[in-house]
Each structure stands twice: as structure tokens, then as C-alpha cells.
Amino acid sequence: MPTPLRILFYTPEIPGNTGNAIRLAAVTGAELHLVEPLGFDFEDAKLRRAGLDYHDLAVLTVHPTLDAAWETLAPERVFAFTVDGETPYTEINYRPGDVLLFGPESVGLPAEVKADPHVTARVRVPMVPGRRSLNLANTASIAVYEAWRQRGFEGAI
């Protein structure tokens, strides 16, 4: 089995985005990691609806803190997705086990997380000027599919 990509949502707030990410993880073979506090609980109807019946097909881990996530993941490389990232997401040569880090919907990654020594690079998805941000689940999908594409869609039908 190939080493999966790992998606890390730092304190996600909107259940539908996390539900969509659960589905994304299930259909791509990626792992989804969440750092508490979460802005919802797993009984939320929007989370269940967005994830449909994919919850049992996804690898999902909830971590009480970012430090606990780092301890579990032991990442070699972490790419922090942020609107002020220096590197376009398409310029990264993704490797098995990379961690794709995303911040909460309302504010994105806080400065202290972007400056965390585990972060290899700050990455951006290009947008036209004057727009605040792209939806969290959409951004994660763009990044995961680019990384998976670079690996030849390993494991896909």
C-alpha cells in the first residue's frame, strides 16, 4: 500500500467542510487529521450529510493539540496553505507522507502555526486580486489532487 498524503486541518470550524474533507480522504486514500478545538461535534447533521457514507472509509484522527499531531505524524515535510504563501502549490514536488496543513475557515493559519519549525514551506493557491480566500474543502481538494496527480494517481482506478 502506498504511503498516503496527510491532510491536517488546524481547528476547523465548519462541519460541512470537514465532512467534505472526510469524503476527499476516503476517495483519494489520504489521511485526515484534525486539531482541536473543533467548531462542531461529530453528531452534527451537516458533517454527516457532507461526508455521506464515507466516514467508515476514511482514515480520520483527532488530535487534542498541534504538538500531539506532530508527535503522531512525525512529518518530514509540512506545507502550510495560506493566502500569503510564497510558493504556488504547483511548484511543490510532493512526496509520500507529506502533510498538507490548512487553517480554520474564519482566519486561516495563525502566525505562530505558519512559523512552526515543522513547516517546510508556506504555499498558496492562486486567486484573482481582492478576494479574501478560497473555501477550505475546495483548497484541500485542489492540493490533494495535485499531489496525487504528481504520483500518477497511485492506487486509483
pLDDT tens track for 62-91 = 999 999 999 999 999 999 999 999 999 999
* Cα–Cα distance for residue pair 135/143, rounded to 1 Å: 12
pLDDT tens, position by position, 25-40:
999 999 999 999 999 8
Superfamily of domain 6-150, CATH level 4 = SPOUT methyltransferase, trefoil knot domain (3.40.1280.10)
Identify the pLDDT of residue 41: 81
Mean pLDDT of the 118-139 span: 94
* Cα–Cα distance for residue pair 60/44, rounded to 1 Å: 16
Which grid coordinates belong to 82?
Answer: 495560506
Identify the pLDDT of residue 149: 96
pTM confidence score: 0.93
User: How far is CA 19 from each of CA 9, 56, 84, 143, rounded to the nearest angstrom?
Assistant: 12, 12, 26, 17
pLDDT category at 47 given cuts 50, 70, 90 is low
Kindly calculate the radius of gyration of the chain based on its CA atoms and give it in whole angstroms: 14
